[in-house]
């Protein structure tokens, strides 16, 4: 039987759950002009961890994976900040008390058989992309649990993206309805439009409607740049934004070649159901048997 790897975008899950748990308490304290008390903070953190663990249990029950991993961002700035200091500028920082709780949450996930992975240099998105693509190239199924639109560019027959909060798969139909392009065109699309969530600028004067129209007409940004019939006004905008487009593409493209240094069997669920028993040794990645 083939493997099915669940990759949980851990901070995407934890931060969204934390916001929901904190909201009612914060509304009360804001009306009174107070800060959350230490006892309230402890209650919010307890509720957050309990809800996240329950979410992991439900995810495993629903998707029935053979392998699972919770992937965390490094607490240190990743490589993208080194090439663009404005990356994610203005984004609300994780509360210190929540950051201090992450190790305990990792232990709680481990109690459910789900190990955690964190990198010192790369974002969780890059680690997830690397794992997903390596598995998919060997014909294995991967489901990414996240609401982050950046993963949509990875969509392919063996890579699925599941929005746990809205209980739906984010598939090609979702991409078409939301962006009016194919998933394979998303990096080009965001290179043109920019990505406001991460404070990445696009090409001035080209919005989502025009970007989709151009990509549907020419197929790709490369073809667009080489086209002889491109409108002069569009050509001028692209010519004036060559450096910005190059930077945007670098920032938007997820790494797929990070050395991971562990075996597939290391992230196998510790208590898989009998129908999911497989031989991990049949999966060879990076040319080494079992190597990720």
Please write the tens of the pLDDT for every residue from 79-89: 999 999 999 98
Q: Are 26 and 104 members of one domain? A: yes
CATH number of the domain enclosing 130: 3.40.50.1010
Q: Are 142 and 273 members of one domain? A: yes
- In whole angstroms, give the CA distance from residue 147 to residue 161: 8
175 domain residue, yes or no: no
- In whole angstroms, give the CA distance from residue 52 to residue 65: 18
If residue 280 lies in a helix (H) or strand (E), which one and from where to where? none
Q: Are 266 and 242 members of one domain? A: no
Q: Are 216 and 272 members of one domain? A: no
Express each pLDDT in 105-154 by its tens digit. Answer: 999 999 999 999 998 788 999 999 999 999 999 999 999 999 999 999 99
Q: Are 161 and 85 members of one domain? A: yes
79 domain residue, yes or no: yes
Q: How many other CB atoms are found less than 10 A from the CB of residue 281?
A: 11
Tell me the mean pLDDT in the region 184-194.
98
Q: Are 272 and 229 members of one domain? A: no
Res. 292: pLDDT tops 70: no
Q: Are 59 and 165 members of one domain? A: yes
- In whole angstroms, give the CA distance from residue 88 to residue 197: 7
Q: Are 264 and 138 members of one domain? A: yes
Q: Are 208 and 82 members of one domain? A: no
How many domains, in total, are found in the chain? 2
CATH number of the domain enclosing 191: 1.10.150.20
The pLDDT, as a whole number, for residue 193 is: 97
Q: How many other CB atoms are found less than 10 A from the CB of residue 42?
A: 13
The pLDDT, as a whole number, for residue 271 is: 61
The pLDDT, as a whole number, for residue 32 is: 52
Residue 158 domain boundaries: 4-170+259-289
pTM reported for the whole predicted model: 0.90
Q: Are 187 and 138 members of one domain? A: no
Res. 173: pLDDT tops 60: yes
Q: Are 281 and 242 members of one domain? A: no
Residue ranges in the chain assigned as alpha helix (H): 10-32, 38-63, 79-83, 96-99, 102-110, 124-137, 172-179, 186-193, 208-218, 221-226, 232-239, 242-252
Q: Are 105 and 199 members of one domain? A: no
Q: How many other CB atoms are found less than 10 A from the CB of residue 222?
A: 10
């Amino acid at each position: 039987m083939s493997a099915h790897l669940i990759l949980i975008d851990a901070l995407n899950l934890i931060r969204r759950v934390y916001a929901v748990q904190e909201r009612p308490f914060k509304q009360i304290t804001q009306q009174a002009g107070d800060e959350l008390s230490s006892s309230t903070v402890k209650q919010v953190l307890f509720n957050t961890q309990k809800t996240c663990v329950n979410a992991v249990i439900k995810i495993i029950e629903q998707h029935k994976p053979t392998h699972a991993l919770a992937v965390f961002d490094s607490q240190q700035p990743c490589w993208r900040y080194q090439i663009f200091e404005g990356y994610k500028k203005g984004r609300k920082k994780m509360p210190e008390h929540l950051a201090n709780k992450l190790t305990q949450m990792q232990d709680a996930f481990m109690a459910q058989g789900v190990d955690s992975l964190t990198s010192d240099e790369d974002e969780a998105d890059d680690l997830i992309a690397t794992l997903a693509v390596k598995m998919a190239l060997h014909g294995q199924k991967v489901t990414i649990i996240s609401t982050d639109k950046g993963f949509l560019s990875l969509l392919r027959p063996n890579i699925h993206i599941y929005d746990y909060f809205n209980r739906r798969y984010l598939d090609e139909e979702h991409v078409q309805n939301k962006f009016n392009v194919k998933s394979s065109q998303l990096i080009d699309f965001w290179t043109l439009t920019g990505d406001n969530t991460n404070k990445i600028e696009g090409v001035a004067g080209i919005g989502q409607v025009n970007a989709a129209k151009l990509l549907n007409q020419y197929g790709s940004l490369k073809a667009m740049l080489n086209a002889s019939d491109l409108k002069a006004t569009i050509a001028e905008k692209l010519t004036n934004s060559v450096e910005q487009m190059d930077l945007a593409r670098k920032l938007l493209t997820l790494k797929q070649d990070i050395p991971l240094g562990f075996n597939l069997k290391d992230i196998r669920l510790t208590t898989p159901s009998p129908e999911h028993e497989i031989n991990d040794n049949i999966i060879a990645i990076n040319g080494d048997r079992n190597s990720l």
